[in-house]
């Protein structure tokens, strides 16, 4: 065979040889071309709307207590004044106001709103320390406070002058009982029966510890209680019932005159307990 006739064959073999080598070097995998970025820029997403937390009084909004967003509206309930203490017999003209009031019905947020509203009215007297206790009108005043109490509020408009000092961490300390923990008539009857039975045993000469144990057995049998029964300890638990001031927006009832009457009472030249009781 002539050389001119061998050239096409040699060329074909060379092409096949180098093709096989290239394939083996690539691991037998197909190679893909690099992705070329799009010429046109991607559409920009719409900016997210800013979330704004609204508080009734942002000046009192400590970062640790402003965990909730927009405050919940809560009605201030009509109330009656049960007791008022006005004391300015302190050094450096410190003024203390303590108010006990009673309400009928309502729920936890309304009890909180009512207590706060009373404290804010009391602050108009220039008081440095204000305490408000809210009770249940449904329970007679001669019953134990633990059955009646719905809230306990401490308010120090000027913390530096507060009689509580570092005992309160902010201007407001608000504790409000949860509905599920409110004493029932049965709770009250059981506690009262135990107390009377225990006292009778003690009066008859029984040792305190034995009287307590025996009164417990008698109470369990009378009310058909479980063996692990315990006495009711109160509506309010300050270690678990705290509410941030910023979580509540007070809604005043236009037909309720109790706040107005309290304001007039405390604004009198010589505010007296009797005058406030009349309101």
Where along the chain do its domains lie?
72-182+234-275, 187-223
Rounded Cα distance, 74 and 71, in Å: 9
pLDDT along the chain (279 residues), means of 10: 46 45 43 35 35 31 47 94 85 87 97 98 92 97 96 92 84 96 97 98 97 96 94 93 94 89 79 59
Rounded Cα distance, 217 and 257, in Å: 49
Predicted TM-score (pTM) of this structure: 0.72
Q: What is the pLDDT of residue 91?
A: 73
Rounded Cα distance, 174 and 120, in Å: 13
Rounded Cα distance, 14 and 8, in Å: 10
Q: What is the pLDDT of residue 212?
A: 96
Fold assignment, 72-182+234-275: Diaminopimelate Epimerase; Chain A, domain 1 (3.10.310)
Sequence length of the chain is: 279
Q: What is the pLDDT of residue 72?
A: 92
- 53: Cα within 13 Å, side-chain hemisphere: 14
Query: Exposed/middle/buried for 174, CB within 10 Å: 0-12, 13-18, 19+?
Result: buried
Q: Would you state the structure tokens that stand for residue 143, as one six-digit string?
A: 């019953």
Q: What is the pLDDT of residue 61?
A: 39
């Amino acid at each position: 065979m002539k050389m001119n006739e061998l050239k096409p064959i040699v060329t074909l073999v060379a092409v096949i040889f180098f093709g096989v080598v290239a394939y083996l070097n690539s691991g037998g995998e197909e190679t893909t071309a690099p992705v070329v970025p799009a010429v046109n820029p991607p559409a920009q997403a719409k900016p997210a709307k800013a979330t704004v937390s609204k508080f009734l009084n942002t000046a009192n909004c400590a970062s640790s207590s402003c965990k909730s967003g927009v405050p919940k509206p809560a009605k201030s309930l009509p109330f009656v004044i049960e007791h008022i203490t006005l004391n300015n017999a302190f050094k450096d003209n410190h003024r203390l106001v303590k108010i006990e009031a009673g309400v009928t019905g309502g729920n936890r947020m309304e009890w909180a709103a009512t207590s706060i509203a009373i404290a804010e009215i009391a602050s108009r007297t220039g008081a440095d320390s204000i305490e408000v206790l809210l009770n249940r009108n449904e329970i007679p005043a001669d019953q134990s406070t633990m059955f009646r109490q719905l809230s306990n509020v401490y308010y120090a408009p000027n913390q530096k002058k507060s009689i509580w000092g570092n005992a309160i961490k902010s201007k407001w300390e608000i504790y409000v009982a949860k509905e599920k923990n409110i004493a029932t008539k049965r709770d009250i009857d059981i506690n009262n029966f135990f107390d009377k039975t225990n006292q009778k045993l003690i009066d008859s000469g029984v040792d305190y510890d034995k009287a307590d144990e025996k009164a417990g057995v008698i109470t369990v049998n009378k009310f058909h209680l479980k063996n692990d029964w315990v006495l009711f300890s109160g509506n309010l638990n300050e270690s678990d019932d705290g509410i941030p001031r910023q979580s509540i927006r007070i809604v005043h009832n236009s037909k309720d005159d109790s706040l107005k009457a309290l304001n007039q009472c405390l604004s009198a030249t010589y505010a007296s307990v009797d005058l406030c009781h009349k309101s």
